[in-house]
Amino acid sequence: MAFKSEEAATAYWKANLRLMLVLLCIWFVVSYGFGILLVEPLNEIRIGGLKLGFWFAQQGSIYVFVALIFVYVWQMNKLDQKYGVHEE
């Protein structure tokens, strides 16, 4: 057993799932939310020459995706350290 106790293993897994779900919510909101479902109201707002909803569908969501993965990596590495399950 890599964890100190059963409770630690459960707590680690719960923290992992919570992080994952929060990030997936953001993932869903920027792509399916802003880029598809809310595209029309958002198109009323403009950044430069681009309508916001259109921009999220074709470019903005991709930037957020990249950021999400790096936040996940950073948070998970911290979590692994905290529970002592990181690799040597």
How many helices (H) and strands (E) the chain has is answered by 4, 2
Window 20-49: residues binding another protein (CB under 8 A):
20, 23-24, 27, 31-32, 35-37, 39, 43, 47-49
Q: Does 80 bind another protein (CB under 8 A)?
A: yes
* Chain centre distance of CA 40: 24
Residues constituting the chain = 88
Decide: 5 and 35 in contact? Cβ < 8 Å: no
Q: Which of 19, 27, 28 is nearest to 67 (CA)?
A: 27
Question: Closest approach of Cβ 9 to another protein, in Å?
Answer: 7
Please report whether residue 50 would count as binding another protein according to CB under 8 A: yes
The residue ranges that bind another protein (CB under 8 A) are 2-3, 9, 12-13, 16, 20, 23-24, 27, 31-32, 35-37, 39, 43, 47-51, 54-55, 57-59, 61-63, 65-66, 68-70, 72-73, 76-77, 80, 83-88
